[in-house]
Amino acid sequence: MRAASDFLSARAMGVDASGIRKVFDLAAKLKDPINFSIGQPDFDVPEEAKAAAIEAIKAGNNGYTQTQGIADLRGRVRKQLSAEFGRDVGEVLITSAVSGGLLLAIMSTINPGDEALVLDPYFVMYKHLLTLTGGKTVAVDTYPDFAFHADRVEKAITPRTKLLILNSPTNPTGAVMSDADVLAAVEVARTHDLLIVSDEIYEPFLYEGGFLSPGKLYENTVVLRGFSKSHAMTGWRVGYAAGPEAVISQMTKLQQYTFVCSPSPFQVAAVRAMDLPTAAAREVYRKKRDLVYGLLSKKFEVNKPGGAFYIFPKAPKGMTASEFCAKAIENNVLIIPGNVFSEKDTHFRISYATSDEKIKKGCEILCALAG
pTM here?
A: 0.95
Note the helical H segments in 239-337: 245-256, 264-273, 279-296, 321-330
Say what the pLDDT of residue 24 is.
64
State pLDDT tens for residues 8-38.
888 888 887 656 666 666 666 778 889 999 8
DSSP H helical segments within 7-46, as ranges? 10-13, 19-29
Q: What is the pLDDT of residues 38-60, one digit of tens each?
A: 889 999 999 999 999 999 999 99
Domain range summary for the chain, segments of one domain joined by +: 4-44+278-370, 62-273
Q: Given this model, what pLDDT does residue 8 score?
A: 87
Q: Any idea which fold 62-273 has?
A: Aspartate Aminotransferase; domain 2 (3.40.640)
DSSP 30: S
Q: What confidence score (pLDDT) does residue 325 get?
A: 95
| Cβ atoms 37, 335 nearer than 8 A | yes
pLDDT, tens only, 167-197: 999 999 999 999 999 999 999 999 999 999 9
Query: Which residues of the chain are under the pLDDT cut of 70?
Result: 17-28
What pLDDT, on a 0 to 100 scale, did the predictor assign at position 2?
Answer: 87
Model pLDDT, residue 132:
94
Among positive and negative, which fits the CA dihedral 139, 314, 40, 329? Answer: positive
**pLDDT given at position 110:** 98
pLDDT at 30 (0 to 100)? 77
Contacting residues for 257 by C-beta, under 8 A, at least 6 apart: none
User: Would you tell me which CATH number, out of the four given (3.30.530.20, 3.40.50.2300, 3.40.50.720, 3.90.1150.10), belongs to the domain 4-44+278-370?
Assistant: 3.90.1150.10
pLDDT of residue 20: 64
